[in-house]
Chains A and B, each alone.
Chain A
Amino acid sequence: MNIHEFQARELFAEFGVATQPGSVAHTPDEAETVATGLNQGKLVIKAQIHAGGRGKGTFKNGFKGGVHLCDTPSEAKDLASKMLGQVLVTHQTGPEGKEVGKIFVGEAVDIARELYFAILIDRATSVPVLIASTEGGVDIETVADKTPEKILRLSINPFLGIMPYQTRLIASSLGLTGPLMNQASKLFTNLYRLFIERDCSMVEVNPLVVTTDGRLMALDAKFNFDDNALYRQPSIIAMRDVTEEDPREVEASKHGLNYIGLDGNIACLVNGAGLAMATMDIIQHAGGSPANFLDVGGGATREQVASAFRIILADSRVKGILVNIFGGIMDCDVIANGIVEAAKETGLSIPLVVRLEGNNVEAGKKTLAQSGLKLESGENILDAANRIVAAVKSAA
C-alpha cells in the first residue's frame, strides 16, 4: 500500500522525525489559510498524487509543473486554483494522468546538502538494514551502480533495535558533526521506531537535507507498508486513497481476488500466484500480450470465478480470455460450471480458451463441451496460449 506525501509528513510528525512545516489543502481557500499559518518566507506548493516526477509534469489544462514556489498566501491560493481538480501527467502516471484532489502547502527550505537514508528488510539476512549515502536527491540505484563506495549499509539486530552507536556511525559517515550529529541520531532512531511500529517494508528518505541554517530534516519520503500487517494497522488503512488505485484492482480486492492490471489485450484467470505469473509469461512467449495478473486462489468458488469474469470483461482493451486451472484439490467440474455460468451471464462475445487439468478433469471438460459456448480447450498451457493468441489475431 502507498500513501501521499502529506500523509508521510503526518507520520513523521507523530514519531518526531524532523520535516518541513506545512499541511494538506483541498481547496484554494484552505491553501491560503495553511500558508497564512506558516512562517513568513518562501512557500512550496506540491500536487498530491501517488506518482513521481511531479515537478516536471504538466497539467492537461496546460499549466506546467506539479511543484511550485511562491512568496505570499494569496499566491499560494492562486497556484492551488490552477492545480486542484486538474489532471497532472508525469512520466510515472502514463498519458491518462491523475486528477489532483489535494495539495501540500509548506515552508520552503534553503538546502545546503542533500543526503539519502532508508530502512528496509533485507531478504538475504532477514533483518532490517539501514542504508545511507552522501548522494541524496538522485536515484539510489544509479549511485549503487556507479559509485557503490558511497553507500553505507548497516544491519540491525531485530531484538536490540537501532543502537545509539549505529546512529552516530551513520551520522559520521554522512559528515553530520557537531549539533547535526545529535539531530541525526534522534531522526534515525525515531524513523526506525516508526518503521517497526507501523509495519513498514521500506521507508526511503530522499532527500534528507541539511538546511543553510543548520537543521536536518526529511524533505521527501517514500513509504511501503507490509500488506500482510495491515490488519493491525488501522491508522495506515485509513490513509488508503482508492482514487489513486486502478479501479479494476479495487473491485477485485472486494471479491478476494488477486488482480493486477497490465496493458495487453489477453486476459488470464488462473489459480495460484506462481502459475498466474507463468501464464502471463507464456502469453507473451506465444506472441500475445497479457492484460492482467489474476490469481483466484487455491479454493476458488463459482462466485469468485464469475466476479473474475466480470472484472476482466469490464476492461475494453481485453480481446480474449485464457483460463488456466490446475485443480489439485478443487474439482475441475466446479470450476467448469463457474466458467459456463459466468460466460452466459456476461454474454461473452470474445474468444475464450480454457485449459483444465487435475481433479475430475474429464467431467469438467464435458461440462465445457456441452455448454453450447463458443470456446476452445487447450491440451496444455502452451497449446492454450497459442490458441488464444491465434484467436485474438484472427478476430482483429
Chain B
Amino acid sequence: MSILVTPDTKVLIQGITGSFGARHAKLSLDYGTKVVAGVTPGKGGQLFENQVPIFDTVEQAVRESGATVSAIFVPPPFAADAILEGVAAGLELVVCITEGIPVIDMMRVKEAMKGSKTRLIGPNCPGLVTPGTGDKSHGGCRIGIAPGYIHKKGSVGVVSRSGTLTYEAVWQLTTRGYGQSTCVGIGGDPINGTSHIDILKMFNEDPETEAIIMIGEIGGSAEEEAAAWAAEHCKKPIAGFIAGATAPEGRRMGHAGAIVSGGQGTAAGKIAALRAAGIEIAETPSDMADALIRRMKR
C-alpha cells in the first residue's frame, strides 16, 4: 500500500491547457499515471495530447471519467475557486500546486471546507508521488511537479514543506537503495490543507511504510506539533531536517510561510522539539537519508 494515492488512482487536472499544467500533465502521463481528464472552462470536448478528454467543469469531468483526485495548476486569482469546485464535485483529494494565492482567500477556503469529505494538499506545493514498480519507478502515481524518475518503490515515507528539499531526500534514499512508499509535499504557505501531523498519522497507519523522513522549515509551529504527536504515538523511526537556521527574523524566505516573527518559529526551537521527540536530526541537507539510516539502526 501507500498513502493517499496508488498507481490505480484516477487523476484529473484543473488548468490542463495552461503551459505549466500541460507540461506537467504530459510528464505524469509519461510516468504512467492515470490522468483521465482535464478541466479548462470553454475548452470542453477537446482532447489533451490526443488522449485525455477536456471538460468545462470538474463536476462533468468526475461524472464522465471517474476521477477521484485533482491537481490544480490554475493562476493564483482563480485558485481558491478551483479548489472549492473540486470540493463541490466530491473529490477525495485536491492537490493545489499554485503558488501565490492570497492568504485571505485560503482562510475562506479552509472555513468553507469544514465538514466536507475532501482533503486538500497545498497550496504552493510540489504535490505527491507514489512510486511505481517499473524502470525508474515508472507506473506510479505522480500528481504535481516532482521529477518522477528520482523515485524508487519502497518503504520510506517522505513529508516536506519544500519541493527541492523533498527531491534531495528522495534522491539520497534512492541512490542508497532505499525506496519510498509515498512522498508528499505539503507546501510552503502559512495556511495549507494538510499538515505534517496529518501525514505522519497516515504513514503510521500504512503497513507498507516502515520509516519516515520529515522535512520542515522556519515559521509556524506545525513541526513542533507533529513531533509532540510522534513522541506519543508513532511506532516508526523518523529522521528530520529543518531549514532556515541562518534566516534573519522578520523576513519571508521565499515561501510565504517561512518567516520567524516575534522569536517564534525558529529553526533552533523546531530542532530541539524534534530531538526531544526522539527524531534523528539531519545536520545538513546532505545528511537526510543517512540520518534515517542511523535512526533505523539505533
Establish whether residues A326 and B164, one from each chain, have CB atoms under 8 Å apart when the complex forms: yes
A273 and B254 contact, CB distance less than 8 A: yes
Known interface pairs A123-B190, A228-B256, A326-B168; A274-B243 also in contact (CB < 8 Å): yes
Query: How distant is the Cα of A334 from the Cα of B33 in the complex, in angstroms?
Result: 27
Alpha-carbon distance between A141 and B222 when the two chains are bound, in angstroms: 20
Whether the Cβ atoms of A123 and B107 lie closer than 8 Å is no
B167 contact from A124, A282, A283, A328, Cβ within 8 A? A328
**Pair A281/B164 contact, Cβ less than 8 Å:** no
How far apart are the CA atoms of A140 and B264 in the complex, in Å?
A: 13
Which of B149, B163, B221, B257 is A272 in contact with, Cβ under 8 Å? B163
Across-interface contacts of A91 in B (CB, < 8 A): none
User: For window 128-169 of chain B, which residues contact chain A by CB distance below 8 Å?
Assistant: 145-147, 149-150, 160-165, 167-168
From the candidates B103, B163, B167, B243, name the one contacting A358 in the complex (CB within 8 A): B167
Query: CB within 8 Å of B: which of A328-373?
Result: 328-329, 357-359
Q: What residues on A are CB-neighbors of B284 within 8 Å?
A: 278, 281-282, 285, 381-382, 385
A328's closest neighbor in chain B, by CB? B147
Whole-angstrom distance between the Cβ of B27 and the nearest chain A Cβ: 7
- For A157, list chain B residues within 8 Å (CB): 111
The residue that A273 contacts in the complex, of B100, B102, B145, B162, with Cβ under 8 A, is B162
A229: interface (CB < 8 Å): yes
Task: A232 to B76: give the CA distance in the assembly, Å.
Answer: 11
Cα separation A382 to B218 with both chains bound (whole Å): 21
Kindly state whether residue A295 has any CB partner on chain B within 8 Å.
yes
CA distance A199 to B103 in the complex (A): 8
Q: How far is the CB of A255 from chain B (nearest CB, A)?
A: 15
Question: Which residues of the partner chain B approach A285 to less than 8 Å between Cβ atoms?
Answer: 283-284
Bound-state CA distance A2–B261 (Å) is 15
B218 to chain A: which residues have CB within 8 Å? 277
A226 at the binding interface (Cβ < 8 Å):
yes
Contacts of B45 in A (CB 8 A): none
Could you tell me if B217 and A228 are in contact, using CB atoms closer than 8 angstroms? no
With the chains together, A41 CA to B49 CA distance in Å?
A: 75
Q: A290–B246 Cα gap in the complex (Å)?
A: 8
| A-chain residues with CB within 8 Å of residue B256 when the two chains form the complex | 226-228
Whether A260 lies near B251 (C-beta < 8 A) is: yes
Partner of A121, one of B27, B103, B287: B103
Q: Find out whether the CB atom of A232 lies under 8 angstroms from the CB atom of B102.
A: yes
Indicate if B108 sits at the interface (CB-CB under 8 A): yes
Complex CA gap A284/B287 in Å reads 15
Question: Is A201 close to B, CB under 8 A?
Answer: yes
Q: Which residue of A lies closest to B190 (CB)?
A: A123
B165 touches A123 (CB 8 A): no
State whether the Cβ of B90 lies closer than 8 Å to any Cβ in chain A: no
On whether the beta carbons of B164 and A275 are closer than 8 Å, the reply is: yes
Given contacts A275-B165, A282-B284, contact A126 B191 (CB under 8 A): yes
Name the CB-closest residue of A to B185: A274
Q: Does B252 contact A (CB under 8 A)?
A: yes
Tell me if B241 is interfacial: C-beta within 8 Å of chain A.
yes
Residue of B nearest to A357 (CB): B171
A127 touches B76 (CB 8 A): no
A258 at the interface (CB under 8 A from B): yes
Distance, CA A234 to CA B27, complexed state (A): 37
Does B247 contact A280, Cβ atoms closer than 8 Å? yes
Asked if A123 meets B110 with Cβ closer than 8 Å, knowing A284-B245, A285-B283, the reply is: no
A282 touching B111 by the CB < 8 A rule?
Answer: no
Pairwise interchain contact A258-B147, C-beta atoms closer than 8 A: no
Residues 242-278 of chain B, each 1 if its beta carbon lies under 8 Å from chain A, else 0: 0111111001111111100011000100000000000
* A123 and B111 form a contact (CB under 8 A): no
Question: Quick one: which of B111, B146, B164, B168 contacts A158, CB cutoff 8 A?
Answer: B111
Indicate whether A298 reaches chain B with its CB closer than 8 angstroms: yes
In the complex, per-residue mask of B193-235: 1 if CB is within 8 Å of any chain A CB, else 0: 0000000000000000000000101111110000000000000
List chain A residues, Cβ under 8 A from B254. Answer: 258, 272-274, 276-277, 293, 295
Of A123, A274, A358, which one neighbours B147 at CB under 8 angstroms? A358
- A124 proximity list for chain B (CB < 8 A): 220-221
Q: A275 and B162: CB pair below 8 A?
A: yes
Alpha-carbon distance A232/B244, docked complex (angstroms): 30
B174 shortest CB reach to chain A, Å:
12
Chain A neighbourhood of B18, CB < 8 A? none
B106 at the interface (CB under 8 A from A): yes
Complex interface: chain B residues within 8 A of A167 (CB): none
In the bound complex, do residue B188 and residue A273 qualify as a contact, i.e. CB atoms below 8 Å apart?
yes
Verify if A39 is at the interface (C-beta below 8 Å from B). Answer: no
**A333-B135 Cα distance, complex, nearest whole Å:** 23
Q: Which residues of A sit under 8 angstroms from B76, Cβ to Cβ?
A: 228, 231
- Asked if A380 is at the interface (CB within 8 A of a chain B CB), the reply is yes
Q: Known contacts A121-B190, A281-B284; decide if A274 and B257 are in contact (CB<8 Å).
A: no
Residues of B within 8 A of A (CB): 27, 76-77, 100-108, 110-111, 145-147, 149-150, 160-165, 167-168, 171, 188, 190-191, 215, 217-222, 241, 243-248, 251-258, 262-263, 267, 283-287
| 9 A–B pairs (Cβ distance < 8 Å), ordered by A | A127-B111, A159-B108, A231-B77, A232-B77, A274-B258, A285-B283, A326-B171, A357-B168, A382-B284
Going nearest first, the 3 A-B pairs with the smallest beta carbon separation are A274-B162, A273-B254, A272-B164
Not counting A278-B241, A278-B284, a sample of 6 additional A-B residue pairs whose C-beta atoms are within 8 angstroms of each other reads A262-B248, A280-B247, A285-B283, A329-B145, A382-B284, A382-B286
